[in-house]
Amino acid sequence: MKKWMVFALIIGTFGCNESTETPEEIPKVEDYNQACQVNSDCELVNENACGCGTCSQALNKGDLAAYTAAAARTCSDLPGDCSTCLNEPACVQGKCQAREPRYISAEEFLTTCQTASDCLLIQEGDLCQPCPCPSIPVNAADYASKVSSPECGYSGVVCNNCPQPPVDCVDNICIVVDEE
């Protein structure tokens, strides 16, 4: 019996490292500035400041140091590193949020057409990339049926110098017209 009690005492002492923070002490993202105007105003953070997370929240970069300092004061473990997250920071309707990127490839869409108006130029990659230069012709109706407009958070961004080559329907296939 004594051996069992000694073993339990050792396991209890050196076993799991339980967090001792109370929920009131742990920094919460909603207690910090999440206001933004553009995506670059935002930074990803873990939803649980005191442990590993999925970087499912974002706050204004101006409050990141205060959030991290509060976590360091109250947490036994520092927040996880968000640099490897799959989410991206986004400014959506004036509030920093984490969003999942939406990547597209031309292979996802039909290229068939009856007239040039059936065709649309798209970009490959992240739909929320600022200032895309679409260059790949696809069927406009097929694209519209598969892709909804994501909330990208690029209000006020001005894009220039993006060539818009004309498209045409040749042999029932959408193509980019060579202007030479």
**22-37 pLDDT tens trace:** 555 778 888 999 999 8
What is the reported pLDDT for 176? 93
Residue 7 lies in a domain: no
**CA 114, chain centre distance (Å):** 37
Residue where a domain terminates, one of 99, 121, 138: 99
Residue where a domain terminates, one of 34, 69, 99: 99
Residue 34 lies in a domain: yes
Domain of 65 in residue numbering reads as 24-99
pTM for this prediction:
0.56
Q: Are residues 85 and 141 in the same domain?
A: no
Q: Is the pLDDT of residue 49 over 70?
A: no
Residue 4 lies in a domain: no
Residue 5 lies in a domain: no
More confident residue, 107 or 25: 107
Q: Are residues 110 and 86 in the same domain?
A: no
Long-range contacts of residues 84-87, Cβ cutoff 8 Å, at least 24 apart: 85/44, 85/54, 85/55, 87/44, 87/54, 87/55, 87/56
Rg (C-alpha) for the chain, rounded Å, is 25
Q: Are residues 163 and 108 in the same domain?
A: yes
Per-residue pLDDT tens digits for 124-167: 887 777 667 788 999 999 998 988 766 665 555 556 677 778 99
Q: Are residues 110 and 124 in the same domain?
A: yes
Q: Are residues 162 and 120 in the same domain?
A: yes
Q: Are residues 94 and 122 in the same domain?
A: no
Most confident stretch, 3-7, 102-106, 146-150, 159-163: 102-106
How many CB atoms lie under 10 A from the CB of residue 25?
A: 13
Please give the Cα distance from 65 to 164 (Å, whole number): 42
Please give the Cα distance from 143 to 5 (Å, whole number): 67
Least Cα distance to 158 among 121, 128, 130 occurs for 130
Q: Are residues 79 and 32 in the same domain?
A: yes
Residue 153 lies in a domain: yes
**CA 127, chain centre distance (Å):** 11
Q: What are phi and psi of 64, to 5 degrees?
A: -60, -45
Q: Are residues 42 and 87 in the same domain?
A: yes
What is the reported pLDDT for 32? 92
Which H or E run includes 43? Answer: strand 42-45
Residue 60 lies in a domain: yes
Q: Are residues 109 and 160 in the same domain?
A: yes
Residue 83 lies in a domain: yes
Least Cα distance to 29 among 4, 63, 73, 6 occurs for 63
Number of structural domains (the chain) is: 2
Residue where a domain terminates, one of 60, 79, 99: 99
Place of tokens 């030479």: 180
